[in-house]
Chains A and B, each alone.
Chain A
Amino acid sequence: MNLQLSRIKLDDVSFGSQTRIEDDELIVNKGELVDVLEEDRRIEKAEVSLARPGEKVRIIPVKDVIEPRCKVGEGTLFPGSLGEMQQVGQGETRVLDGVAVVTTGEIVGIQEGLIDMWGKGAEYTPFSQTINVVLDLTPVEGIDEYDHEEALRIAGLKAAAYLGEAAEDVEGKEVEEFSLPAIPRRNEKLADLPKVGYVKMLIAQGLLHDSYVYGVDAKNIIPTIIHPNEILDGALVSGNCVAACDKITTYQHQNNSIINDLYRRHGRQINFQGVVLAPELTTLEGKNRNCQYTASLIENLGCDGVIISEEGYGNPDSDLLQICKLLEDRGIKTVLVTDECAGQDGFSQSLADSRPEAEAVISTGNVSHPVKLPPAEKILGNQNTLPNLAGGAEQSLNGDGGVTVELNAVIGSTSEIGYHNLSAELY
């Protein structure tokens, strides 16, 4: 399978009469975008704003972040989720590099988080570095939570596809190739290199805790092998918000850092075998089934080593460690990527489960680490939701408009696909 991600670097976004790309700038016809979003009868009102890196803007409550893109020729950007099924991972996809769609609006549950575009808060979220096209979406009255969540999820994807169309006639200056031939051919050519796999765990636990594979709710699949290109090209969509700090946004699926860093070494230091998606279920039976099935797939791929990334914390810790143990028992070497719940002072034990086999662990930080963020000049969304959000508390709203939250509430801060530099160390 051969994918070219062709990047169009964008320096700015502004509103104008026609949605297009001109001189490294994305111009957006706001009215047209609003119309596209309001086509969905579940959405009463859509407002579109911009938030640029460095501006004193806080976006809250954030549901998802999506990278605008465009498939060249035939193809669907998020098949199964937006539009009909059409396999992705092949051909050319144009990327509006530096721009992200961010969905906000009325709180769906109590799980959404925040993005600060400036100052200390910006250090903790990767989405302070993108120029964000922020959709503030108000649902129709009386909508139930599932429809509300879906409407917001689809609206984000639609906006990403709509903006992406601006790249139809623009060629990217930087083209990155992702090419992995069929496994037997890989193995023939790279017989001397260690075979490496990637287990990507996905939360699959209900409202605001769901992930979608080609539009299929991941609660309803058993673990499956998937070509890494398909993930990079829109096969995975986030419907998950738990917790804001370590949910994998759709943007991070599209730019999965573990896949990228494995790809870079493919053919030189490793022979990248592929990805296994492992849904994290709520029941013990489901956990046992998915962990054992995941281990079986990795063993059948003949992997010598594997990276396992978790999504969420708490009960998924037990899935993570069970997969680790099953693989280590088979002689397959593992590295786990997880965050920690070490308490605000950092003195609590970090995980909800423990196995001696987990010798090699990457920490992406303590979700309970408190941060004090200064007042914003502009709030996109509604800051008063904060005390109800995971990571917020009654005392989160400081009188001056500033907030004190745990990293729990900061989007992407402790990303367990290792998207960020944050970590924790024993002191």
Chain B
Amino acid sequence: MKRAIYYLNQFFGSIGGEEAADTEVMLKEEPVGPAEQFQEMSEECEVPATIICGDNYINENTEKALADIKEILQEYEPDLIAAGPAFNAGRYGVACAGVCKLAVEELSIPAVTGMYEENPGLDMCRRQAIVVETVDSAAGMRKALPDMARIGDKLVRGEELDRPAEENYIPQGRRKTVFREERGSERAVKMLLKRLNDEDFTTELPMPQFDRVKPADPVEDISGARVGLVSSGGIVPKGNPDSIESASASRYGCYDISKMGRFSSNEFQSIHGGYDPVYANEDPNRVVPLDVLRQLDSENRIGELDENYYVTTGTGTSVENSERLGQEIARDLKDGNVQAVILTST
């Protein structure tokens, strides 16, 4: 038998109602309430222990509570964490999310929980845990638990889950590579026929929701500012010493330009896979205008140029990688006391 440790709040853990919401992390060496039903439904797992914690306590003392829970989990070394379901209870949902995230990220233990789609805990853990879709009240317990038990069994067996709608969990947001029965062109024609006949159809790619980044305020006095140079145009020292990918980049380079008046075509090249590189290789300053900035510097129109130059490749680079690279570069720029940045793309 595999082992699942179950997490519940004070109410479902039969400690008490709101008056017991300050209960500290406690362990019962038996399946309690929903955990008992879960154990009955599961084909793979027994539940040797239930962790119970008050909703207020874990939300107000998160760090301490999670550290205590981590200790328990390390002791039991379970194959699975099950939590909730939390339905639309906000504090409980956030608690379940915290426990699931801890299990997956820090202990590599798979986690299953259940929530209503508007529960604030959902976005905290949907990527790490499998979150069964529930209604907004505990009336959905009888429906949610079998789903959690079935998914839990699959997780401990290391089986791939079926589609979210078939398993009844909320999509994690992952675009999974699949082979479909018909080729894309045939599917496109069929989808168009459905549209023309006013029949229902399902898009294969719902439009992404974009984060909008508010542009920074203008630099008040550029003539006194330390200016940085950052580019997604793939201009790197010849030989590409940091092995930045020509597309779908996962890394960036940082190069000392303090001794350079301009980028020399003998020493720099484009490794960007998304544009005609001939003109950039002829004169890399066309992509990253170091020459012009040196000129502006000599005319005292900018304060000074940062000694480092940062570069990556912008083609096919995932938004997640872009965000991470951007944050790392921004941190370095801030540490370098840079007040303004010229960003060039291609």
Contact = CB atoms under 8 A, between A and B. Distances in A.
Contacts of A242: 273-274
A341 B188 contact: no
Contacts of B186: 257, 261, 418
A269 B193 contact: yes
Given A206-B275, A358-B207, A423 B184 contact: yes
Q: Chain A: interface residue count, which band?
A: 35 or more
Contact of A343 (B187, B205, B321): B321
B205 A257 contact: no
B259 interface: no
Interface in A156-208: 194, 196, 205-208
Interface string A399-427: 00000001110000001111111111111
A419 B183 contact: yes
Nearest to B177: A369
A196 B192 CA distance: 9
A354 B196 CA distance: 23
Contacts of A2: none
A109 B175 contact: no
Contact of B319 (A145, A348, A392): A348
A421 B177 CA distance: 11
A343 B318 contact: yes
B316 A408 contact: yes
Interface string B267-298: 00001111111100000000000000000000
B59 interface: no
A360 B273 contact: no
A384 interface: no
A418 B184 contact: yes
A365 B184 CA distance: 10
B76 interface: no
Contact of B172 (A350, A407, A427): A427
A314 B316 contact: yes
A260 interface: yes
Interface of A is mostly: loop
A363 B208 CA distance: 13
A298 interface: no
Contacts of A364: 184
Interface stretch (B35-43, B145-153, B219-227, B241-249): B241-249
Contact of A345 (B164, B174, B210, B248): B174
Contacts of B319: 343, 348-349
What bracket does the count of chain B residues touching chain A fall in? Answer: 35 or more
Contact of A366 (B175, B181, B272, B314): B175
B175 A390 contact: no
Interface string A310-326: 00011100000000000
A265 B204 CA distance: 22
B127 interface: yes
A153 B96 CA distance: 59
Contacts of B203: 358-361
A341 B321 CA distance: 11
Contacts of B335: none
Interface in A257-316: 257-258, 260-262, 265, 269-270, 282, 304-307, 309, 313-315
B186 to A, nearest CB: 5
Nearest to B315: A314
A351 to B, nearest CB: 6
B255 interface: no
Interface string B173-195: 11111111111111111011101
B214 interface: no
A309 B171 CA distance: 27
A388 interface: yes
A421 B175 contact: no
A111 B271 CA distance: 10
Given A363-B204, A424-B178, A426-B173, A261 B185 contact: yes
Contact of A408 (B183, B248, B321): B248
Nearest to B171: A426
Contact of B320 (A196, A315, A343): A343
A355 B173 contact: no
Given A341-B248, A415-B184, A423 B204 contact: yes
B258 interface: no
Interface in A198-232: 205-209
Interface stretch (A21-29, A52-60, A330-338): A330-338
A140 B337 CA distance: 50
B163 interface: yes
Contact of A262 (B189, B201, B321): B189
Contacts of B208: 349-351, 354
A348 B318 contact: yes
A350 B175 contact: yes
A346 interface: yes
Given A206-B275, A243-B273, A257-B185, A426 B206 contact: yes
B23 interface: no
A289 to B, nearest CB: 20
Given A421-B182, A424-B178, A390 B316 contact: yes
A34 interface: no
Contact of A333 (B172, B196, B316, B317): B196
Contact of A421 (B180, B189, B314): B180
A350 to B, nearest CB: 6
B250 interface: yes
Contacts of B320: 343, 345, 347-348
B182 to A, nearest CB: 7
A86 B203 CA distance: 41
Given A110-B273, A242-B274, A354-B209, A347 B192 contact: no
A99 to B, nearest CB: 21
Contacts of B247: 243, 390-391, 406, 408
Given A342-B175, A346-B176, A354-B207, A367 B316 contact: yes
7 contacts: A144-B278, A146-B278, A282-B275, A313-B316, A354-B207, A364-B184, A418-B188
Interface of A: 109-111, 123, 144-146, 194, 196, 205-209, 242-243, 257-258, 260-262, 265, 269-270, 282, 304-307, 309, 313-315, 333, 335, 337-338, 340-351, 354-356, 358-369, 387-394, 406-408, 415-427
Given A258-B185, A269-B193, A360-B191, 8 more contacts: A145-B278, A307-B189, A313-B316, A348-B321, A349-B319, A425-B204, A426-B175, A427-B164
